Structure 1
Amino acid sequence: MMKIIELHIYGYGKLEDYVIGSVGQLQIFYGENEAGKSTIMSFIHSILFGFPAKQSAEIRYEPKNNPKYGGKIKAFFPDRGVAVIERVKGKAAGDVTVSLEDGTIGGEELLKDLLKRMDKTIFQAIYSFNVHGLQNIHAMKGEELGRYLFSAGTLGTDKLINTESFLTKEMEQRFKPSGKRPLLNEKLNELKEVQASLKIAEQQNEKYSELMSTKDGLAKKIAQLQNEIAMLEQKGIKLREYKRNEKLVIEAATIESKIIEHDPSFFPEDGLNRLEKLDEQLKVIQARLLRVKEKKEHLLNELDKSRPNSELLGMETEIEARIENLPLYDQLKQEKRLLESKLEEITEEISQLNDKLHADFNEENIHEINTSIFIKEQAENIQQTEQRLKDKKLELEADFEEEKKALAELEARAEGAKSELLDEGKRNQLVNEMDLLENKERIQSELNYVADQIEASKSREESEKNRRKKQQKKENNQLLLLGGIFLLVALWGLTNDTWLLAGIGLAGLLFLLAARYKPSDKMPVDDQILSKLLERERALKDALNSQPEGSAFTIRNLLARDEEARLRHRELLIKIEQQNDRFEKVVQQFEAWEADMAAVKRKKAELLKQFGLTETAGTIKVMDAYQLIDTQKQYFRERKRIKESLKKVTESLMEMENSLKMLAERFLHNSNFAPVEAANLLKRTLREAIDQKSRHHELTVKLEEIEEEHSSLQKEELVISQEKKGLLALARTEDEDEFRQKAKDAALVKNWRARLEDINYQLLASGLTDEDRDKIVKGISLEEQIEEIELKIEQSKRELTTQFDVIADVKHKMKVLEEGGIYSELLHKYKQLQHEFAEAAKDWAKFAVAKDLLSRTIDRYKDERLPRMLAKAENFLSILTDGSYVKIIPQLSGSGFLIERNDHMFFEANELSQATAEQVYVSIRLALAAGHFDRYPFPIIIDDSFVNFDHNRTARIIKLLREMSNNNQILIFTCHRHLLDYFTENEIIDLQEKSTNIV
C-alpha cells in the first residue's frame, strides 16, 4: 500500500519551510481554526496531482511573502519502494520531479505510473471526505437523502444526484410533453402554424408544385446517372488493374499446378540435416563401443590374476578383535553383569506399557507400526479437530435452541394474527355490501347531479322563451316593413300599368305571408334534453329506493382492520420464512458438524488401527497412544541392543580362551604357537590379504565403470537408430535414398510456395477475387470489357449533360414563381424554423442521451460493483451501530437504499435518525475506499467527519479506523480536542505546539 512518510512544505499558504516527519499508519493532525489543517490537506492533493488552475474554484494557496511555492512528499510505494515527489512553481500544474530509491528520476509520467493513473477528482471522491458530506445529510429531506447516499456510494460525492437533477432541469427547460413555454414547445407550435400557411400557399401555386416534382425527378435521375458513371469508372479502373496483374495470375496458376505435381504430401522440417546429424552421431557411438569392449577384456584378465584369500578376509574383523581385545577379558565380565541388570529393567517397562495400551506388542510387530513425524502430525490434527468439534457442538446446540425458540415465537404470533382475520365468507359478504353501499352513494350523487341539470335546463328554457318572444316581435316588425314596401311596389305597378313591378310586389307579399304562417314542426332541443333528464331522475330514484340500508363507514372500518391484520399476518409469514432459513442453516451446520465428526472418528479409527489398537470403553486419545507406542518402540530397540551386546560379550568371553589357538590352526596350520606369536603371524598374514583385496576392488570398480559406459553407449545407439527410423517413417519412405529424393522435392515446393505467397499478396492488394482470377486463367478478354465500359461512360455523360440543361430551365421557372409570390417567403421561414427546431432538438437530445447513459451506468453499477461495496458497508455499519442495523439494500428502481434493522424491519434513508443516517454515510464512504484498495492502495484522508457522534459512536468509528489502518494509511484532521483521548501520543501531531520548522 502507498504510505506517506514525510511532508516538506517550501511555501504553501501561510506555511513556509514547514516539515512534518515520521507520519504514521494512523495519524491525527490536531489544531484549532487557522492552524493550517486545510492547507496541509490541499498541499498533499497539490503535490500528488498538481496545483489548482488559476481560474479554478479551488484555492491555490500561493504564499504572499515567499517566492518559493510548493514542496515535496516522501512516500512508500509497494512495487517501487520509497519515492520523493517534489513539485514547485512552473507551468499551470507546477513542475514535478520524482526520485526513486533505485536512482530513477522522472517527471509527470512517472508520477502517474506510481499513482496508477489516478485522477485528482476521483481520489478526492473516494479517499478524501469531510464534514460537508454530513452537513448535506442534515439539509436533505425525504427521498433526496436516499439518493444522496447512493451517489456517495457510487462516486464518493453528491455529484451523481446533482448531475441527475441538472440533466432533468435542462431537459424540462427545453421541452415538456404538456408544456407551452419551453423552447421546443414554442418552436413546434410556430412550425405547425407556418406549415398550415405553407400548405395554403402550395394549393394556390399548383404550378410551382409540379415544377418542384419535376425538379426532384430530374435530381434523382442526375444522381442515378452520376452513380452509374462512378460505378462504371470504378469498374474500368478495376479491369485495368486486372489487366496489369494478368501475368501474375497466370504465373500463380502455373506454380499451383507444379506444387500439386511435386508436393511430397508431408516432409519433416529440416529433415535432410537431421538425417545427416543422426548418421554422424551413430558412427561416433559405434567407434566408442569398439574401444570399450577392448578395455573390458583387459580388465577381466587382470581380475583373474589378483583374486584375494576371501576366507581370511572374511575373518578380518574377528581376527583383529581377538588380537585387540585379549587384555579386556576382565572388563567383559563386568560388562556382562551390567547388561543383564539393564535387560531386566527394560523388560519390566515394556510389560507395564503393554498393560496401559491393552496390547501385546513384541519385537516383531512393534516395528511394523509407523511412528513417523507425518503420523505424529496426523495424530495432533485429529486430536485438535476432535476437541474443536466438541466446542463447536456446544455453540451449535445453543444456536439451535435460540433459532428454534425464535421460530416458535413467530409461529405463535402468526397464529394469533391469523385468529384476528375475518373468514373468507364474512369478508366476501362485507365486500359485496360495501360495493352496494358505494353504489348507493354513487346513485345519490348522480341523482343530485341530474336534479341540478334539470334546474339548469328549466332556467335555460325560460330564457329561451323570452328570447323567442323578442325575436318573434322583431321578425313581425321586419315583415310589416317588407310587406309595406312590396305593397307600394304592387300598387305602383298597377297604377302605371307596369305589370312586372306589380307581379314582383304581389309575389313578395305572398312569400311574406307564407313565411309568417309557416308552422314549426321541430321540438326545441332543450325540451328533448329536459325530458331525458326527467326520465333519468325517475330511474335513479327507483334504483335508490331498491338499495339496502347500512353504514358504509362501519363496513369500511371492518375491512380496513381486516386488511391491516392480513398485512401483519403476511409480514409474520415472511419473517417465519426468513427464520426458517436461519433455522435450516443451523440444521445444515449440524449436519456438516456430524459429517466432520464422522470423518474425524473414521480417521481416528484408521490411525488407531495402524497403531494396532481399537476403541475401548474408555476414550483413547490418539496423541497419547502415539507417544506411548513411540516410547515402547524405543524400549524394544534398547532391549534388542542390550541383548545383542550381551550376546556379543558372552560369545567374546567364550571364544577368547581358544580363539587364537583355533585361528592359528586354521590359517597358520599350527596350533602350538604361543598366543603372542600366533597373533603377530596372523596380523602379518591378514595385512598381505588386505593389500591384495584392495587391488582386486580397484579393478572391479573399473570393470563396473566400463560395463556402465558400454551399456550407456548401447542405449544411445538404440535411441539414435530408433530416431532415424522415426524420421524415415515421418517422411513415409523405405530407405535413405527415397528420403533424400523427397527432401529435394520438398525444397522445390517450399520455394514455389514462397513465390506463390508473394504473388497472392500482390493480387490481394490489387483487389482481385478468386472469381476474377478464374476468368483470367480461362482467357476471358479484358480489353473488350474495358472498351465496352468506356463506351457506356461516354453515353451516360452525354445524357447527364442533357439532364443538367433541363433541370436548369426548371429551376429558372421556379425562381420566377418564387419571386412573384408569398410562397418563397413562407418556404424560407418554414425551412428556417425546421433548422432551428432541429438544432434545439439536438441540444435537448444531448441532455436526454446523457441522462440515459447515467441511468444505464447506475444500473450496471448496481448489478456489478454495488453488491461487493455494500457487503463491506454492511459490515462497517453493523460495527458502528453495535449490531443494531445489519443490511443496506438498493431500491428496486431508481437510486436510494433500504436499511434493515436487526429485528428485520426496513427503513428508507429519510426514516432514519440523523445520527444513524450519518453512520450509514460513513460506512458507505469507508466501504468505497476499502473496495478500491486492491487496485489503488492509497491513504484515506478524513477532515472532521465524526464531530456529531456521541462518545460511544466515536469509540466505535475509531476502532473501525484502527482495523482499516492495517491496509490503508489513515490521516485525520480535526480541531476537536476530545477526539485526542482515543489516540496515543505518537499518533497525534499537534499543529499548535509547532515552534520550530520541524514537527
Structure 2
Amino acid sequence: MIIQRATIFGFGKWVNETFDFSSRAVHYIYGENESGKSTLHTFILFMLFGLPPKQCELYRPKTSGQFGGRLHVSLHGDMCMIERLYKGRHSEAVIYTSDGDEKGEVWLQDKLKGMTLATYQSIYSFSAKDLMGISDMQADDLGEIILGIGLTGVKNLYTVEKRLDQQLGSLFKPSGKNPLINQQLTKLQEIQTKANDWKRIELTYQEKQKHIKELEQSLRDIKHSISDQYEERFSIEKQRHALPTIQAFQSIHKQLKQMPERICFPEAGIERWEQLKEKLLPLKSKQAVLEANQSRYHNKIKLLDETLLPVDLNDDGKKMMEEMGRYEQFQDQIDNLSQSLQKQQQQFNTICNDLQLPINREEVSKLELSIFTEKNWKKIKEDLDQLDAKQLQLQLEKQQLAKHRQKLMEEKQAIQERMAKEHQLKQWKAQLQQAQTSDSSLSMDQQKRNAANWQQEKQRKQKQTRSFFLSGIIVAFVLAFVGSVTDYNKLLFVAPFVVVLAFFQWKMRAQSIKEMDRWFTASTSELDYSITDDERVRLEQSVAQELQFRTKLDAMEEQLKSVDVKALQQEEQQLQLSEQMRRMDECILAEQRIYPFLAQLAPQYWIDVFHSLKQLQFIHKRMEEDETIYNKQAQHMQTIHTKLSAFIERINGEWLEQTVQTQFQYVEDSLTKNEAHLNQRSYYENQLAENEWALQQIYEQMKPLELEMNHLLKAALVESEEVYYEKGKQKQRLQSLKKQEEELVAQLDFLFPKEKWQALLHKTPSVFELEQEEKKVHQIITELEAHVDEQQQKLAKFHTEVDILEKKEDYSTLIHQKEMEQEALHQQARHWATLKAAKEMLLQAKRSYQSKYISKVMEKTSLYFRELTAENYRCVYPPTVGRLFTVEKEDGTRLNVKELSQGTMDQLYIALRFAVSVSMSEEHALPFILDDAFVHFDSVRTKRVAMLLERIAQEQQVIVFTCKQDLIEVAKKRSFVQMLNSIRIH
C-alpha cells in the first residue's frame, strides 16, 4: 500500500487541509512541538483502522462540524479512496475504487490481510520512547518480539499460556503438597497403608502385648552393648589419628638432637636485611635518573632562550587576538543572516508560487489585512458550505417525496381496479336487506340471538382494535427512545410511520365494525326477500371487502394531501434558499471589488490565501530587519581587518596578501608557539630546581640504610651478604623445628593424657594392628545394630497391630473409600494430561514461528547496523541463554550490548526495527511511519539514517515526523512547503 494524498475535513487542529505523499522519496514532516505532527499521524491510523469512540472524542475539531477525511491510496497498483466520517455510517470506512464501485470495512480489512492497529504500530511504527530495553534483551525476549509483531492476537496467546500454567500447577507438582493430584496421591497412600496394616493383623491382643515387653527389654540390653563397642572403636580411631603425629614428633625430636642449641643471629635478620635492600635499590636507581635529568634540563633552557619573541610584540599580538573573536562573531552573524535571508526569500517565493498570484514584496507590504477581513472571509466560506449542504438536503427530500407520491398513486390505482361500482354495492346491500326481511325460516328469536352474538363479537373486535393501536404506539415510542440514545438515527424516522400505520389500521377496523352494525340493524326491519345461506354469506363477504377497500382509499387520499402540502413547503424553502444564495453572491462581489485578486479564487480558499498573505507580510518585515543588521556587521568587520593588516606588516609582510582568517591564524600560531616556549622554559626551570632538591633527598635517605646493613653484618659475626644468608637460614630451621615440636605436643595432649601418649612413644602400634582391631569392633557393632533394627521392626509391627485393634476401624469402609478416591484421581489425571498436551502444542507453535523469522531478521539487522555505523561493526548476533545481544567489530572484537555507547545502542535498536519491518513487508507492504525516532542522534548518525531510509523507500513508503533541524539540513536539496508552524518535505 502507498498513501498518495490525505485530505482532512476535520481532525484535531487540522481543518480542510491536504497533504501530498505522492513522491517516491522519504517524506519528512517537520514541525516544532504542538505543531500537529502527532495529530496527522493519528489521522492516518484512524483512516486505515478506525479508533475507539473515547479516543475519537479527543480529536474532535473545535472549528468545524465535520470529523473525518479521505485517504487516497494505491493498492497493488490500483487507485482507491478511503473515506471515514466519525458518527457517519457508524464510523465505518467507505472505499471508492477506480472502476466506480463502492466497498465497505470488510473489503478494506481483507486488503490489509487482517492487519490491526496494535500489530501495525508494533511493526511499522516506533518513536524515541521505544529506544530502550535492548540492553537487557534475552533470547526469549527477542523471540517474543518476533512473535508479538508477527502474530495477530498475541496478547490472547500469552493469556492462554499463563492460564494453562496456572491450571497445571494447581493440579500437580512433582514435589508439591497443595496441588489436587498431590493431595489425592497422599490420601490414597494413607488409605492403602491402613488397609494393608489391617489385613496383616493375625495375632491376638494379649500375645502382642507380651511380645512388646520382651522386645523392649532385649533392645535395652543390645543398645548397652553397642555403646561399649562404640567407646572401644573411638579409642582405636584416636590412636590411628594420632599415629602420624607421634611419628612426626619422633622425627623432629631426632633432628633437634643433631643441631646446636644456640645460633648467634639478629632477630628477624633475613627480613630486616631484605627490607633494607628493597629500600636502597630504588634510591640508587632514582639517583642515576636525577643526575641524567639535571644535564638535560640545562640544554633545553639554553635552546628555548634563542626562539622567544620580544615582549612588546607579544603584547600587541594578544590585543590583536582579542579582536579575532569579535571578527568571527561578526562573520558568523553575517553568514547566519545571509542564510536566513536566502531561506526567507525562498519561503516567500514558494508561498507566492503556491498561491499562483503575481505579487512581490512591495505589493505584499501594502496590503491591509485585518482580523475583520479574516472573520469575514471565514464566515463567507462557512455560509457557502451551509448553503451547499441545505441545497443537497433539499434535493434529497424532493426525490424521496416524489418516490413516496408515486408509490401512493400506484397503490391507489391498484385498489380502484379491485373495487366494484357504486350501483353494484347498493344492489348487494338491497339483496341482503330483502333476504333478512323475507326469510320465513328465521324466527324473531333467531334474529335476536344473532344480534346478541354480533354485539359480543363487536365488543371483542373493538377491544382487539384498541389493543393493536396501543401496541403500535408503544412500539413507536420504544423505537424513538432507542434511536435517541444510540447511533441508530434511522429509528427516529421509522417511529412516525409505525404510528401512522397503527392509526389507519384502527380507522379501517372501526369503519368495518360500523358497517356490520348498520347491516345487522337493517336485517331486523326487512324480511320480504329469501335467499340461500351460501348466497347470503357470499354477499356479506363482498360487502365487507368493498367497505374495506373504500376505507383504504380514503386513507390514501389523506396521505396524498399530506404529500402535496410537503411539496409546497419544499418549494417555499427553495425560494428562501435562492434568495440567501443571491445575497451571498453580493457579499462575494463586494470582497472581490476590494481585493481584485480574489476573483481568480473560489471563496472556499480565501481563508487559506489570507493566512498565506499574512505569512508573506511577516517574512517581508523580518527580511528588512535582517538586511539592516547585515550592513552594520559588515562595517565592523572592515575596521578590524584594517588593524590586522597593520600588525601583520610589523611581524611578517609576506602574509599581507593572505585572507583574514589565514592572517589571524598566523598571528594565533605565532603567539601560541611563543607562549608554549615560555611555558616550557618555566617548566624546565622548575624541573631543574625540583631535580636538585630530589637528588639531595636521595643522598640523605640512602645514608641510614647503609649504616643499618653494616650493623646487621656485625651482629651476625659475618662480613659478606652470602654468609649472612646461610647463617640466617640455619637459625630459621632451628626455630621451625622447635615450633613444630610444640604444636605436636599440644595435639597429643588434646588426644590423650600425657602418660598415655608418652607410653605410645615408647611402644608405637602399627597401622595394620589398629586396622585389625577396628575391623573386629566394627563387625560386632554391625551385628548388634542389625539385631536392633530387626527387633525395632518387630516392636513397631506389634505396636501398630495393637493400635489398629484398639481403634477397630472398618476394613470395608477403607476399600470403598479407596475406590472412590482412585476414580477421582483418574479424572484429575486425564484433565492434567489434556492441559499438558495443549501447552506443549502451544509452545511448539511459538518456537516454530520464532525460529522461522529470527535468522532472516538478524541477517538484515547486521546489514543495516553495518551501514549505520560506517562499517565499524560487521555482524550482530542474537541473544542466547545467559548472553545478551553481541556485536562484532571490523577487527574481530566482540562486545555485548551493555559495552556500547548510548548512541550505538540506539542505532542497533533502529537496525533491528528496520529489519523486522522489511521482513514483515514481504507479506504486508504497508507504509513505515517514524515519530521523532532519531531525537538523540548527532548530525553524522542522522545523515546515515537518512541514507538508509532513502534505500528502504525504494521498496516501501516511509514517512518521518520530526522536530530535528538536522534532518531538514540532510534533505535541504529537496523542495518543501511550510504550512503554518510546520514544514513538510517531500
User: The TM-score by the shorter chain falls in which range?
Assistant: 0.3 to 0.5
TM norm structure 2 = 0.35
TM norm structure 1 = 0.35
